[in-house]
């Protein structure tokens, strides 16, 4: 999945403004167009940093130590996160995806002041640390009992998930490295909901393209809650297929 591609973006904007409901959003679309050169450079820099991190060999033990020192205070000793505080579980997440997110936080391509600070605590050339920490986290077991929703919108949520999400995130919620799609299984309800809203309103822009943001933005609050609740119940799976060679 690529970010906003300059050549494709005007076509997408045209499609967008043809739909009636979006006419009111012309000013926002124009503002987005103005930001394109900026986001393309940011996406390219993120790609370079990813290539650099991937060229290093990972030391998961050192990653565990760095995690305990800099991250466990918020994400927990087992990296299962904290549902009530919307702190995500990281254990068993795809190694490659973890790297892309650490880079996006460092480059301020993704909002979250806590993570901007945490990244700064890793020093000036953190690529080796990112690589080590991601290798450590991807090998931990997924949280078997994440925070769940109230269970009232599950039928609706499972329909939405199968129709609109499973093509990328897969039925089992384990995602896909080839297009940078994260594991959702084992994630907390409140965090999932916050990210669906956040992506719909453009808080993560290097890997969330226009169509995806629009699709999420078209969902009602009840749809978002139902699908987040459904995902939070997908259950834990073994971790081995999601680590890098
Ligand atoms: C002060 C608390 C805090 C600390 C310390 C912290 N984090 Fe986070 N982290 C968060 C919060 C809150 C989020 C959710 C950000 C958002 O709203 O998008 C997050 C998100 C993340 C994500 C994105 C997860 C996903 O599924 O997309 C990763 C990866 C991550 N943190 C890794 C780390 C690592 C590695 C460290 C240590 C170097 C660390 N965090 C330290 C609070 C913290
Ligand atoms: C076209 C592929 C695609 C589809 C369809 C899709 N997603 Fe995603 N999703 C992604 C990608 C790629 C990311 C990672 C974005 C990033 O790197 O910032 C993501 C990230 C997420 C995250 C953030 C996870 C985290 O750990 O922070 C949530 C939550 C999510 N998607 C929910 C959904 C839901 C709910 C649907 C269906 C309504 C859906 N997605 C449909 C590709 C997709």
In the chain, where are the structural domains located? 51-138
pLDDT at position 11 is 42
pLDDT at position 133 is 98
pLDDT at position 19 is 45
User: What separation in Å is there between the alpha carbon of 86 and the centre of ligand 2?
Assistant: 17
pLDDT at position 28 is 56
pLDDT at position 34 is 54
pLDDT at position 102 is 96
Q: Which ligand is nearest to the CA of 199?
A: 2
pLDDT at position 221 is 96
pLDDT at position 179 is 85
In Å, how far from its chain's centre is CA 60? 22
CB atoms within 10 A of CB 14: 10
Low-confidence ranges of the chain (pLDDT < 50): 1-22
According to CATH, the superfamily of the domain at 51-138 is: Cytochrome c-like domain (1.10.760.10)
Q: Which ligand is nearest to the CA of 3?
A: 2
């Amino acid at each position: 999945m690529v970010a906003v591609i300059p050549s494709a973006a005007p076509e997408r904007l045209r499609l967008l403004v043809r739909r009636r409901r979006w006419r009111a959003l012309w000013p926002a679309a124009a503002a987005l167009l103005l930001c394109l050169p900026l986001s393309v450079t940011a996406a390219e820099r993120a790609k370079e940093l990813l290539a650099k991190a991937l060229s290093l060999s990972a030391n998961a033990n050192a990653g565990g130590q760095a995690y305990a020192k800099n991250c466990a205070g918020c994400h927990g000793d087992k990296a299962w996160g904290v549902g009530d505080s919307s702190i995500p579980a990281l254990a068993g997440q795809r190694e490659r995806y973890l790297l892309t997110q650490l880079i996006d936080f460092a480059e301020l391509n993704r909002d979250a002041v806590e993570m901007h600070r945490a990244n700064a605590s890793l020093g000036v050339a953190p690529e080796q640390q990112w690589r080590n920490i991601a290798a450590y986290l991807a090998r931990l077991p997924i949280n078997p009992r994440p925070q769940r929703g109230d269970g009232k919108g599950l039928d609706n949520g499972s329909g939405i998930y199968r129709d609109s999400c499973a093509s990328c995130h897969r039925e089992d919620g384990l995602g896909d490295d080839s297009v940078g799609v994260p594991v959702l299984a084992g994630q907390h309800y409140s965090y999932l909901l916050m990210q669906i809203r956040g992506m719909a309103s453009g808080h993560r822009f290097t890997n969330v393209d226009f169509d995806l943001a629009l699709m999420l933005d078209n969902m009602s609050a009840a749809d978002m809650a139902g699908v987040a609740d459904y995902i939070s119940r997908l259950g834990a799976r073994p971790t081995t297929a999601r680590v890098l060679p």
